């Protein structure tokens, strides 16, 4: 990786070596992509959701390919907290990955239980509170109700003081109201956005392709929508943003940074090219240097007209 540009970025109390992260749900718990790229070379890996107990997920088929994207209905399948602590986290530590744990639950007590157990574990850099999956009923109410979301964040923060990011839903009635509430309750930053509620139909069977009818749309199709949310949140809040949804190239990552994201999650792109995030991180210094940025941090928010490279204050 060229030294043409300092890629390190700060997301409140969390500092990453570079702004390229693996988005939750698309990288498993690291082993799936560990053979394709060095996880230690990325800013972080946001692991698949971790619940107190194993979740079976939704029945198949679970993924449908659509033009410029994927519609999925995985249902937050995961092996549970005990398995993660015994098998996945030790391996992630052994390869030098910076680990952000995506926390899921059916109740507030579930989230608090996971967060509390993780507080005693070395190697967890931050938590990402998933209150926004469109493919399960449990937990989604937190992401749609600012008061409930704020209460959940306060309890999780009390159980675990680690940096906390809340992954929001574009399907909520007012996502920015939820953002304001969770930041006011102590969240350190936001992850924008989860997938967009969508539908695909089998014309021959005259039925939806997914058993649950709808699923979550990801991939390049949602990039302009995600950029809009990052832009609006960056205008309204002085809080770090992990932008995720549609980024697949180094140019996409630069756009996300300019819009106001301090880090960018690479998700569906890894299904087409497992080493996509690593290749983007390798190309990013030159891409930023060509635009006149000496650091990645200078690019954050620079499209908001505050002067080239001025960025948006974070903290």
Active site residue: 70, 76, 81, 133, which one? 133
What element of type H or E holds 241?
A: strand 241-244
Angstrom distance (rounded) from CA 210 to CA 288: 41
Going by their DSSP bridges, the two strands 14-16 and 9-11 should be labelled as antiparallel
Q: Comparing C-alpha atoms, which of 168, 171, 170, 188 is closest to residue 179? A: 168
Are 238 and 245 in contact by the 8 Å Cβ rule? The answer is no
State the DSSP string of 133-183.
-TT-STTHHHHH-HHHHHHHHHHHHHH--S-EEEE--TTSS-HHHHHHHHH
What element of type H or E holds 262?
A: none
DSSP state of 227: H
Beta strand extents in 91-240 (DSSP E only): 99-103, 126-130, 164-167, 189-192, 196-199, 201-202, 207-208, 214-218
Q: Cβ–Cβ contacts within 10 Å for residue 88, how many? A: 21
Beta strand extents in 51-109 (DSSP E only): 63-66, 69-72, 99-103
Angstrom distance (rounded) from CA 166 to CA 89: 21
Are 215 and 135 in contact by the 8 Å Cβ rule? The answer is yes
Angstrom distance (rounded) from CA 214 to CA 181: 28
Angstrom distance (rounded) from CA 299 to CA 302: 5
User: Is position 133 annotated as part of the catalytic site?
Assistant: yes
**Residues annotated catalytic, as ranges:** 133
């Amino acid at each position: 990786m060229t030294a043409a540009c300092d890629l390190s970025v700060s997301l409140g109390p969390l500092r990453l070596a570079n702004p390229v992260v693996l988005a939750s749900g698309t990288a498993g718990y690291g082993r799936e992509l560990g053979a394709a790229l060095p996880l230690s070379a990325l800013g972080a890996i946001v692991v698949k959701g971790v619940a107190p107990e194993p979740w079976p997920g939704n029945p198949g088929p679970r993924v449908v390919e659509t033009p410029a994207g994927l519609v999925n209905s995985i249902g937050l399948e995961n092996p549970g907290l005990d398995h993660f602590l015994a098998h996945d986290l030790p391996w992630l530590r052994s390869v030098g990955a910076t680990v952000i744990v995506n926390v899921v639950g059916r109740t507030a007590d579930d989230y608090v239980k996971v967060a509390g157990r993780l507080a005693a574990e070395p190697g967890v850099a931050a938590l990402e509170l998933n209150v926004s999956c469109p493919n399960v009923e449990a937990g989604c109410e937190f992401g749609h109700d600012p008061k409930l979301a704020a209460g959940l964040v306060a309890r999780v923060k009390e159980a675990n003081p680690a940096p906390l990011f809340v992954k929001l839903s574009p399907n909520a009635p007012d996502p920015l109201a939820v953002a304001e509430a969770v930041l006011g309750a102590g969240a350190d930053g936001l992850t924008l956005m989860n997938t967009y509620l969508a539908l695909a139909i089998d014309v021959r069977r005259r039925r939806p392709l997914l058993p649950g009818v709808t699923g979550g749309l990801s991939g390049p199709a949602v990039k302009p929508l995600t950029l809009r949310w990052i832009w609006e949140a960056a205008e309204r809040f002085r809080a770090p943003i992990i932008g995720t949804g549609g980024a697949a190239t180094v140019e996409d990552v630069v756009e996300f940074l300019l819009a106001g994201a301090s880090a960018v999650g690479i998700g569906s792109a890894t299904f087409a090219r497992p080493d996509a995030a690593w290749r983007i991180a390798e190309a990013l210094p030159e891409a930023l240097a060509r635009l006149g940025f000496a650091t990645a941090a200078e690019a954050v928010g620079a499209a908001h007209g505050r002067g080239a490279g001025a960025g948006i204050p974070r903290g």
